[in-house]
Amino acid sequence: MIIDAHAHVWPDKIAEIALSASTDRLDNLSARGDGTVGGLSADMAASGVEMSCCLGIANLARHVDSVNRFVAELSSDTRFGFGTVHVDLPVADNLASLKRHGIRAVKIHPLFQNFALDDPRLWEILEAFGDEIAVITHVGEGGTPEANRLSSPRMIADIARQFPQLRLMACHFGGYKILDDAEEMLSGADVILETSWPPSLKTLQPDRVRRLIRNHGAERIVFGSDWPMTSPAEEIEAIQALGLTDQETKRVLGGTLAEVLGIESSWR
């Protein structure tokens, strides 16, 4: 069962505007999909992805509950909704929104939410999560120099040490465009690393990716496409071409994430 840990969708009526705003803020990236639920479903069917994690992001605190409502409503047998929190909202209000909408995982995106991974207010939220709410977060570059400083592999390592119970997943192998730092600080750490690397994982040397996965352990790697910025089919191809064992490939493409999220899968 192939599970994509990293897909972004918006309500149809705002998808074009939201996607345009996102690409304008990202570094030289062009969208490969349209950001709608229908567009995601079509790309899932074309690529063989059986479940996509749909990541909600509230750039502002006042949008947290409406984003969580949307994420909850789109969740289905093929879509796993990841909600949102914001440091400008009290911890209790963030938790209440997640509970109200039945959300069991969240996405943090410092580039868009404009707070750092070492912000004490975020750490208060993470402490409240315990082991009940899984977290996936952008790490590394992709925006302005100021925004790029809001996340780093070192911050991820600090979070992992501070909150050993937290089910923590770090996008882009733990350091988009700063892979040397990510390898040095996170290899073997108790953090799950996600594979997306827009515009494509194929831009990285396959032997380096294979080495990184084996050093960290396939049981701590999850496949993510970062749709609509990439083609899930091409990203799956890139994983399958790495020369991993069949068991390693299954763990990366879905087994590890199924275990993290409590999803039944023969690949666990």
Mean confidence (pLDDT) of the chain? 95
Give the gyration radius of the chain's Cα atoms: 17
Helix then strand then coil, % of the chain, to nearest 5 = 50, 15, 40
Helix (H) or strand (E) holding 51: strand 51-55
Question: Which domains are present in the chain?
Answer: 3-261 (3.20.20.140)
Residue 152 pLDDT level (bands cut at 50, 70, 90): very high
The half-sphere exposure of 83 on its side-chain side, counting CA atoms within 13 A, is: 27
pLDDT digits (tens, 9 = 90+) for 105-140: 999 999 999 999 999 999 999 999 999 999 999 999
Is the distance from CB of 9 to CB of 36 less than 8 angstroms? yes
Cβ(51)–Cβ(263) under 8 Å?
yes
Percent of the chain with pLDDT over 90: 88
Tell me how crowded residue 179 is: count the other CB atoms within 10 A of its CB. 19
Q: Decide if pLDDT at 255 tops 90.
A: yes
pLDDT tier, 187 (very low <50, low <70, confident <90, very high otherwise): confident
- Quote the pLDDT of residue 24: 66
Check whether 254 has a pLDDT greater than 70. Answer: yes
For residue 28, is it left (φ>0), alpha (ψ between -120 and 50) or beta? left
Give 60-96 pLDDT, tens digit per residue.
Answer: 999 999 999 999 999 999 999 999 999 999 999 999 9
Per-residue pLDDT band at 250 (split at 50, 70, 90): very high
User: Are 68 and 45 contacting, i.e. CB atoms less than 8 angstroms apart?
Assistant: no
Verify cis geometry, omega within 30 degrees of 0, for the bond prior to 228. Answer: yes
pLDDT digits (tens, 9 = 90+) for 190-204: 999 999 999 999 999
The residues near 264 (Cβ < 8 Å, ≥ 6 apart) are: 258
Confidence (pLDDT) at 267: 84
Residues above pLDDT 70, as percent of the chain: 98
The number of CA neighbours under 13 Å toward the Cβ of 152 is 15
Section 53-63 average pLDDT: 96
pLDDT at 23: 76
pLDDT in tens, 201-228: 999 999 999 999 999 999 999 999 999 9
Q: Could you tell me which of 210, 171, 209 has the C-alpha nearest to residue 192?
A: 171
